[in-house]
Amino acid sequence: MRKISMREAINEALHIALNSSPEVFTAGEDIAVYGGQLRCSYGLLENFGAERVFDTPISESAIVGLGVGSAMLNLRPIMELSYIDFLGTCFDQILNQAAKLRYMYGGMVNLPLVIRTQCGAGLGNGAQHSQSLEAILGHIPGIRVLIPSNAYDAKGLLLRAVRDNNPVVFIEHKALYKTKCHVPEEPYECDYTCDIKRTGKDITIVTYSAMVNQALKAAEVLEKEGVEAEVIDIRSIAPFEEETIINSVRKTGHAVVAHEACRKAGFGGEIAATIQEKAFTALKKPVLRVAAPDVPVPFAPILEDAFLPNSEKILAAVKTCLQ
């Protein structure tokens, strides 16, 4: 099977989605002529024309508002917010419109809206272009929040999201765009469920997005030391599938939760609480969290490296948990 990058997989999913239905269109800042600020939309304008692929003004509120209204009129918009950091400028459209309207209309309207956005640090983009804000979105009832860790899942989850009749925020980590894995050419979909990336019997590592690769690196080191770590990629913040995690913790008796977002009120706290509530009697030690410190993302490379969680920090947490 061929290997392609996550950027290529997302671009392929966009082509498939636009080919699948005339109701699908995509819009955002610089996605048409330039092909997207992070180059995920290349070739769309040439293949589908300016009526279905078009640039917007620099107004995130207008972008999401256009998506909400279009979705209510039975179109299937894929809107792009260049960075998740700009969520604050259109939060009312997401919080009070996209997330609420299907409920407030008693299910009489669908909202098949996909909002693509990018998160994450590690590329020297500074404090206003490097955040991981998925926990804020996960707190809002009424929207899906998907966060793939690799090219295969990115393509499958995005194609599933386009068919969803609920609003979906699709979060892509900027540092993953060049990472490659096996991806089928034909269309396929991934469920909004956890995926066990590596099986093990001694400890469960629950994570998502760019931290999945870091967890797998830590698991390789642990294997050489005789420890079998099970690595679970949750893939979906909302809906949050608990069964896979609980079954794993009941098997291993230990759990470490890792994410790149700041520790305070991060989604790792929700995962840890779920484990405590539903697998408490299986735990041999408390659940440990690996996360970024509660400070803005630094710009200086040496400080950004110190800020980011990594495989070494996961490894240290696992060893502490197993002591």
Exactly one of 129, 173, 254, 259 is catalytic; name it: 129
At 138, list the tokens: 């996960």
**Residues 235, 237, 241: CA angle, nearest 5 degrees:** 75
Question: Is 129 noted as a catalytic residue in this protein?
Answer: yes
Active site (catalytic) residues: 129
